[in-house]
Amino acid sequence: MALKGLDIFKLTPKTNCKECGNPTCMAFAMKVAQGAIPIEKCPHMSEEALATLSEATAPPMKSLKVGTGASEHTLGGETVLHRHEKTFVSENLFAVSVSADSFDEKLPEIEKIDYERIGERMYVEAVNLEYTDKESYAKLVEKAAGKGRLLILDVKDAEAAEAALEICASEKPILNGATPDNYAQFTEIAKKYGVALGINAPDIDALHDTAEAVEKLGYKELVLDVTADTVKDTFANAVQVRRAALKDGDRTFGYPSIVNLKRIAAGDAHKQTALAALFVLKYGSIIVMEDMSYAQALPLYGLRQNIFTDPQKPMKVAPGIYPLNGADENSICATTVDFALTYFVVSGEMERSGVPVNLLISDAGGYSVLTAWAAGKFSAGSIAKFIKDYEIEDKIKNRTLIIPGKAAVLKGELEERLPEWNVVVAPNEATNLVKFLKEL
């Protein structure tokens, strides 16, 4: 059970710390209880007390690092069930399931999905390596190693698992093979190679019992595979595991989860996409799909980015010059705010027009046009300053600047600040930009 601030305060070493007993120490204890400060910040805490308090004040869900280098990811660490309560901590990963027969065909398709959106790289972070037989599995692991993806070894044969780890243990894969029947052997293998251990079971009770048994063997680098035979049972498992950890304080279920959609929706790409969206919300730490195409990736990565960002902080695009439709130094300029939604709507319509445009994005606090204008973040002064700071006049010869229709009030002042520029007011609605640009 998690300790409260008063409990922590009572356990502090009052004979060794002259500050203990005053309001400052009590405030420190309360912050530790809230998770704002690690207990290790107290220099007077004994090792025994530190061990007790560190475990008691740890998040109900364990944070787990998997992979290495550029493919290292953090899973878990969540403290709330709903995004509106507090920001989610670790975004889920997407994986594609491959076998020895399909790897060569699927790898090029996996590599095609690699783009950037609002400063975040969007790509298939992991590959799930399906087991068929020992010889072909070792060859599959050899092919998949070193590709910059987290490896998930989906194998329940202990000998094949060890052979695979001899090849790829340095990449810190997930060994997703422990079951109620083989957990003891797989726990020793996971310990030996220092990798995360995935636990599988026929139902949620068996999953809990197996995880508890593995913990008793002294291993807690775990991932829970909540996939069941049906969509209904898989969803129930994912929710119950998360609720048990966060609401009931059951640390045996306090681990990241895997959902394998190929097992419950094989051959149906549309269904898998819909289910992947569901488990981004509720609560798949790693979502394994049969395939991944751009048509699937675009909505899923957009949803993930929206869910795993701080709801109190708007998503922004970086200030700069964004050439659209092959724009160069002779192309017209347009400007709008850095609010991500506004940027994507406006840039999308501009691209649809086919007219080359240099879209100038300045720092407007991540607000919409009217909100940024009202807050003084998007003004004639800020636009003129951006043009000067980014040396726009040295980089672009064209002196036509299009401003948002809802900020038409800025036209007069902008013309005073930028006398060499022809300031043009765009339509109020982005949907009218295509016609407007073609006529302009």
Domain boundary among the residues 307, 332, 364 is at: 307
- The pLDDT, as a whole number, for residue 253 is 97
Together in a domain, 348 and 400: yes
Together in a domain, 330 and 271: no
Question: Which CATH number do you get for residue 275?
Answer: 3.20.20.20
Range of the domain at 336: 320-439
Look at residue 333 and tell me if it is in a domain: yes
- The pLDDT, as a whole number, for residue 35 is 61
| DSSP 3-state of 161 | helix
Look at residue 315 and tell me if it is in a domain: no
List the structure tokens of 274.
């819909």
- The pLDDT, as a whole number, for residue 117 is 84
Look at residue 245 and tell me if it is in a domain: yes
Look at residue 355 and tell me if it is in a domain: yes
Together in a domain, 240 and 179: yes
Instruction: Read off the amino acid at residue 439.
Output: E
Domain boundary among the residues 280, 307, 334 is at: 307
Q: Is the dihedral of CA 303, 305, 310, 313 positive or negative?
A: negative
CA angle (127, 307, 295) in 5-degree steps: 50
Total count of domains within the chain:
3
- The pLDDT, as a whole number, for residue 309 is 83
Helix (H) or strand (E) holding 121: strand 120-123
* Cβ atoms of residues 325 and 281 within 8 Å: no
DSSP for residue 432: G
Together in a domain, 353 and 423: yes
**For 122, how many CA atoms within 13 A lie in the half-sphere containing its CB?**
20
Q: What's the rounded Cα separation, in Å, for the pair 352 and 42?
A: 58
- The pLDDT, as a whole number, for residue 15 is 41
Together in a domain, 38 and 93: no
Together in a domain, 256 and 110: yes
* Cβ atoms of residues 406 and 339 within 8 Å: no
- The pLDDT, as a whole number, for residue 85 is 85
Domain boundary among the residues 257, 285, 307 is at: 307
CA proximity to 125, closest of 70, 191, 179 = 70
* Cβ atoms of residues 196 and 175 within 8 Å: yes
Instruction: Read off the amino acid at residue 287.
Output: I
Q: What's the rounded Cα separation, in Å, for the pair 424 and 245?
A: 57
Together in a domain, 302 and 344: no
List the structure tokens of 124.
């298939």
Strands 400-403 and 422-425: parallel
Q: Scan for tokens 């898998």, then name that residue.
A: 272
Q: Scan for tokens 């992991």, then name that residue.
A: 126
Look at residue 314 and tell me if it is in a domain: no
Contacts of 287 (CB under 8 A, 6+ apart): 92, 93, 94, 95, 259, 261, 276, 279, 280
Look at residue 312 and tell me if it is in a domain: no
The residues pairing with 425 across neighbouring beta strands, listed in sequence order, are 403
Together in a domain, 427 and 356: yes
Look at residue 160 and tell me if it is in a domain: yes
pLDDT tens digits, the chain, 440 residues: what are they?
445 444 555 555 544 444 444 445 666 666 666 666 666 777 666 677 666 666 666 778 999 999 999 899 999 999 999 988 888 989 999 999 999 999 999 999 999 999 988 878 999 999 999 999 999 999 999 999 999 999 999 999 999 999 999 999 999 999 999 999 999 999 999 999 999 999 999 999 999 999 999 999 999 999 999 999 999 999 999 999 999 999 999 999 999 999 999 999 999 999 999 999 999 999 999 999 999 999 999 999 999 998 998 777 778 899 999 999 999 999 999 999 999 889 999 999 999 999 999 999 999 999 999 999 999 999 999 999 999 999 999 999 999 999 999 999 999 999 999 999 999 999 999 999 999 999 98
Together in a domain, 94 and 135: yes
**pTM for this entry:** 0.79
Look at residue 405 and tell me if it is in a domain: yes
Q: What's the rounded Cα separation, in Å, for the pair 13 and 221?
A: 32
Together in a domain, 230 and 272: yes
End-to-end alpha carbon distance in the chain: 67
- The pLDDT, as a whole number, for residue 26 is 62
Together in a domain, 108 and 254: yes
Question: Which CATH number do you get for residue 376?
Answer: 3.40.50.11600
CA proximity to 58, closest of 261, 251, 270 = 251
- The pLDDT, as a whole number, for residue 10 is 54
Together in a domain, 208 and 98: yes
